[in-house]
A and B are shown apart, each in its own frame.
Chain A
């Protein structure tokens, strides 16, 4: 697959081209200045196949490619964001086989045959997912960078409560789980928002859950 599919001549493309030019310029320095090629054997690319938002994706990737980079850099699905790239901020949250994970802490090769859902697969501008519509209505964002991860997490959190998965603030481990404000705040703690839209996010989630915020 063409790695730059759909990006066209974007700002990113221009930056990449500039970097390539810089590399060529560096290559004109006197012989012997450049370091010898590294001795570390570079493994060949490996085939990776999974489904993203209902469509099959077949890629040939360096083993080091994370699921996040496969989505953004190889499939041009840039809705999923790279924040910290270390699993601390949640901006990269996607849903794999019905479960939310940090796509930055997962290798693409670990996902052969998996079904991945990103923000682009939850809804479209013309046909928003109820959680997307609720985020708009309740102003659940300011700059918007963390929002795709927040929404993927929020959708999953309501499902996890329905499935009876306990959280740190669940009083009765064996009782019915309820989508209370405290539960949603605790369960969303893996998604950081620098703008501080938390209370509005909790209200959006409460509306979708049919609960009081």
Chain B
């Protein structure tokens, strides 16, 4: 691990100013992903701004009938919140489908959104990787791509966004709230938060330097049956090959997003309109522009079968 200096901020704005004002500075939340990457020297911050004392650790009801989840609410606390379990079950289900109990206790809501890809070539500093070291090339495209993305990729990067929580947030139409060093705030729809790689795969999301996530807002409950189904190589504590987050209404309509298949949670509203016609109708539309490799083309079949299982479960 490279040397760094450390400070604790006492307010969101102070934290944002501290990171914006110092080259090489990063926020430190739970640290469960950042420390892992720092040990491998994939992340090499020169200064860490610890945000644990800035508040933002509560889940509050909004005037619009939804919930505002503080950036520092732990994954465990979010999954266990009685309101979330009752009205946003797909979110609880997605969170407990990811990581381990120890990690969920420490990982934060904002940190979960910001976790980096688990592409094995990103994780191996001996390999070229445009996301880790822009301009060096992508070893994954001609390499072992079984776990990697089938859609939304570019000729620079085929990494997936690895998380589960954000896939559920995508079907719930959540918004990410932020603050910048000058105190300006903005609200970013989750659909626009994570970026497709294009020519700049090193940028995972649309946050500006020093912009701090303060919370995630859920709109009012939409009812329906909430299902999160994750398919992986072992039954627990593994990243998704394919996951499906869905909220399905009694008339068969609903919302669906896919995880493990793209650089961001993958939802296609036009495709999802075909939900009453079944899984094949949705997946053939949602993945029409897929560019899978020999290794990962199975993910499209798997997505269809997983969605079929989700629809069956919702009907039962």
Q: Is B298 an interface residue (CB 8 A)?
A: no
A5 to chain B, nearest CB (A): 25
A101 located at the interface, meaning its Cβ lies under 8 Å from any Cβ of chain B in the complex = yes
B31–A107 contact, CB under 8 A?
A: yes
Q: CA of A174 to CA of B87 in the docked complex: distance in angstroms?
A: 11
Residues B96-147 near A (CB distance < 8 A): 96-97, 99-103, 105-106
Is A63 engaged at the interface, CB distance under 8 Å to the other chain? yes
Residues of B within 8 A of A185 (CB): 236
Are A42 and B102 within 8 A (Cβ)?
Answer: no
> How many angstroms from the CA of A59 to the CA of B263 in the assembled complex?
42
Which residue of the partner chain, among A41, A102, A110, A163, contacts B102 with CB atoms under 8 Å? Answer: A102
Distance A157 CA – B82 CA, assembled complex (angstroms): 19
Q: Across the interface, do A187 and B35 meet the contact criterion of CB distance under 8 Å?
A: no
Bound Cα distance from A64 to B45, whole angstroms: 11
Q: Are A156 and B85 in contact (CB under 8 A)?
A: no
Q: Is A21 an interface residue (CB 8 A)?
A: no
Does A134 make an interface contact (CB < 8 A)?
Answer: no
**Contact present for A99 and B105 (CB under 8 Å):** yes
Check B5 against A106 for contact (C-beta < 8 Å): no
Which of these, B28, B32, B52, B96, contacts A166 with CB under 8 Å? B96
Q: Judge whether B80 and A110 touch: CB under 8 Å.
A: no
Instruction: Flag if A87 contacts B32 (CB, 8 Å).
Output: yes
Chain A 77-118 interface 0/1 with B at a Cβ cutoff of 8 Å (1 = within):
000000001110010010000011110111101100000000
Could you tell me the distance between the alpha carbons of A156 and B101 in the complex, rounded to whole angstroms? 9
Q: How many residues of A contact B (CB 8 A)?
A: 44
Known A86-B39, A153-B101, A163-B80: A106·B2 in contact at CB below 8 Å: no
Interface string of B1-37 (1 = CB under 8 A from A): 1111110000000000000000000001001100110
Once bound together, how far apart are the Cα atoms of A168 and B79, in whole Å?
Answer: 10
Q: Once the chains bind, are A190 and B101 in contact (CB under 8 Å)?
A: yes
| Shortest distance from the beta carbon of A173 to any chain B beta carbon, whole Å | 4
B186 touches A (CB below 8 Å)? no
A189 close to B6 (CB less than 8 A): no
Question: Given that A165-B80, A166-B92, A168-B236 are known contacts, is A85 also in contact with B39, CB under 8 Å in the complex?
Answer: yes
Q: List chain A positions with a Cβ less than 8 A from chain B.
A: 40-43, 46, 62-64, 66, 85-87, 90, 93, 99-102, 104-107, 109-110, 153, 156-157, 160, 163-168, 170, 173-174, 185-191
25 residue pairs bridging A and B, Cβ less than 8 Å apart = A63-B4, A63-B5, A63-B6, A64-B4, A66-B35, A100-B102, A100-B105, A101-B106, A102-B102, A102-B106, A105-B31, A105-B35, A106-B31, A107-B48, A110-B28, A110-B31, A156-B101, A165-B79, A165-B80, A166-B85, A167-B96, A189-B100, A190-B99, A190-B100, A190-B103
